Amino acid sequence: MSLPQHTAPPRISADLYVEIQSFYAHQMPLLEDRKVEEFAHTFTEDGVYAHAKDGWELVGRQSLVSEIRAGVSHYGVKVFRHWFDKMVVRVVDGTTYRVTFRSLVSVTDESGHVTFEPSATIEDVLVRRGDRLLTRSRVVRHDIPDPAGYWSERLG
């Protein structure tokens, strides 16, 4: 019996991998700290943030700011944190990178009770502008089929 062939992702430099991890370590706390404008500025001016399964898409920083601000408000005083794992980076060219990873969001209420959002696969395209990285596009694919189950017990 032969096993299926496994194709490993292309090798990248450790420096690039760490740079991309550092980018996310900077980007996501901006959202978690409700610094929505600063978070939006980690996207290109025409950046896209989309949810694949329920079909919505935000295009441009202004759209990101208004819609994400509304979404974040549903958490109230709850603290939410993004946990990224299993990151695969593919170099498209010298300034463009495709990054795929798994994501889990924890939500902690005032009493310390922790719940989790449904896990997701994220597909980003990052671009280099000068000495910094920006997100050109982000596609989120939750691991459950029904959008009603997203967002911290529907945030209600």
In tens, the pLDDT along 132-152 reads 999 999 999 998 876 565 554
Tell me what the mean pLDDT of segment 85-106 comes to.
96
Cα dihedral sign for 48, 115, 145, 4?
positive
- What is the token pair recorded at 142? 């939750």
Lowest mean pLDDT among 72-81, 94-103, 138-147: 138-147
Pairwise CA distance, residues 112 & 50, whole Å: 31
> Do residues 89 and 72 make contact, with C-beta atoms less than 8 angstroms apart?
no
- pLDDT at position 148 is 61
Pairwise CA distance, residues 144 & 53, whole Å: 9
> Do residues 125 and 23 make contact, with C-beta atoms less than 8 angstroms apart?
no
Tokens 């600063």 appear where? 38
| Average pLDDT, rounded, for the chain | 90
- pTM for the whole thing? 0.87
Residue 8's pLDDT band, with cuts at 50, 70 and 90, is confident
Give the whole-number percent of the chain exceeding pLDDT 70: 92
DSSP structure string for 107-143? EE-TT--EEEPPPEEEEEEEEEETTEEEEEEEEEEES
